[in-house]
Amino acid sequence: MLTILQEILAPARAGACAVPAFDCVEDMMVRTVRETAEALRAPLIIGRATA
């Protein structure tokens, strides 16, 4: 799900937890990180890196 950063960081700040950010180079890494976060019901930030 796409959302604005404020919607991710405000609950994390209130709950005193971190939101990981991943700099992904390949589509497989994006898929793996996204699927893992969905399974854990955890927020994350995905950046798209270029090799």
pTM: 0.73
User: Following DSSP, what letter does each residue of 1-51 receive, concatenated?
Assistant: ----HHHHHHHHHHTT----EEEE-SHHHHHHHHHHHHHHT---EEEE---
Domain count, the chain: 1
Task: Grade residue 2 by pLDDT with cuts at 50, 70 and 90.
Answer: confident
How many CA atoms lie within 13 Å of 48's alpha carbon, on the beta-carbon side?
A: 2
The residue range of the domain holding 35 is 5-48
Task: Grade residue 28 by pLDDT with cuts at 50, 70 and 90.
Answer: very high
